[in-house]
Every structure is written in structure tokens, then in C-alpha cells.
A and B are shown apart, each in its own frame.
Chain A
């Protein structure tokens, strides 16, 4: 699964992209973020406060309770500030 990071999430983790194989028992965004947070100190710093994060599954905004089963791409980022 492709994981994309943006803005300060990207900066703290130190990369904008990872290709990961999440464990089978990780089935929703909340679980995925908690699992990713264990990968390094940077991941933990970026991902520990889940209330500050937003996400998109296969390029659609998704609630943190949304399923990731079968997803090809998950993007994790702070709230957007367009315009």
C-alpha cells in the first residue's frame, strides 16, 4: 500500500512516500495510523495526536474510522488550507 505524507506530517517523518504492508488486523485508518506511528521516532512525533490529522483513501477524503481494506493509496496530512 502506498502511504503519502504532506506538510508537517511529511517533515516530521522525513519522507513523502512509503510502500508498506500493514498487518492483516489493521483494517481502518485509525489502526493504520497507530501502526505507522510505531515505525520510527519521527513517525511517532507526526502521528501520535490523531485528532490533528486528516486522511484520504484512494484520493478521497475519509473519516478516521473508514476501512482501508483493498486500498491502494492512503494519504495522511494536517487539515487542508487551500484558497
Chain B
């Protein structure tokens, strides 16, 4: 069962995991991304493409479900203004065995970084604002899964 949401509201990771626990698999893996409050950050604003972003998330979920024969996959990504400590993204996968669940979850978060059209703007306590640049390692992490050696 594929479940993809793009929303400004917070998500309930526990409720999402319970739904995947009930899929009848042998393992559920998950990742929750959280806004870091370091450097005096007061707000992280996530901008997205109003039509493309959800479609890309859905495509990534379908790719992972087919490649790892998942029983369930959930991706929730928030947009809008988020405070330090808030959840940004939730990815969870259910599979018959742990390897598929863990690999699919790691692949999804790596591919969301480089292939989902989101942009992040940081605001700091002194009023300074900066757009987040991709890290050099992000493309390599995502490419690893496409090559198949991940």
C-alpha cells in the first residue's frame, strides 16, 4: 500500500508506523527528518512546486515498492514555515524481511534529497536569511542506489 502526502501540518509518526505494522510483513523501517536548531536558526521555510513535487514523491514511492517488493511504503513531506525540533519528512517501509525494509527506506530518503523539488530557506535570530545549498555528498548518496551498489 503506497501512501504519499505533502502537507503543512505536523504528522504523527506513531500512527503512521502502526498502519505499516499491520501490513503483515516481518519488518518496518522508518526515518524522521527533524529541523536542526543550530546556529541560531529560528525558522526553516520549505517551498515546493505546486504540481510536480507530490508527483515526484509518488513516483519515488512506486519505484521503491516495485524494486524491493514492499508491502507498504509511506512518505510524508511538510512544506511551509517550520520551527526547530519540528518533523520535516517521514519515510517508512514495510517488507517481509529487514534488508528490503531498511534499504528501501534509506534509498527513499537519499532520493528525496536530490529528486523531490523542495527548496529550504533558513531564518536566523539576527534576521539573516539564507537558501540551503545541496551538500556535495547528496548526489553521490542518491546515485549509489541507481547504480545498484547501495
Residue numbers of A with Cβ under 8 A of B are 4, 6-8, 10, 56, 59, 61, 75, 77-83
Contacts and interface: CB of A to CB of B under 8 A. Distances in A.
**Dominant SS at the B interface?**
mixed
B119 A6 contact: yes
B88 A83 contact: yes
Nearest to A75: B49
Contacts of A4: 49
B120 A56 contact: no
Nearest to B31: A83
Contacts of B47: 6-7, 10
Nearest to A79: B134
Contact of A78 (B33, B112, B131): B131
B52 A59 contact: yes
Contacts of B119: 6-7, 77-78, 80-81
Interface string B41-76: 000000101011001000000000000000000000
Interface in B90-131: 109-110, 112-121, 131
A8 B110 CA distance: 23
A56 B119 CA distance: 14
25 contacts: A7-B47, A7-B131, A56-B49, A56-B117, A59-B49, A59-B55, A61-B115, A75-B117, A77-B117, A78-B119, A80-B118, A80-B134, A81-B118, A81-B132, A81-B134, A82-B77, A82-B113, A82-B115, A82-B116, A82-B118, A83-B89, A83-B109, A83-B110, A83-B113, A83-B116
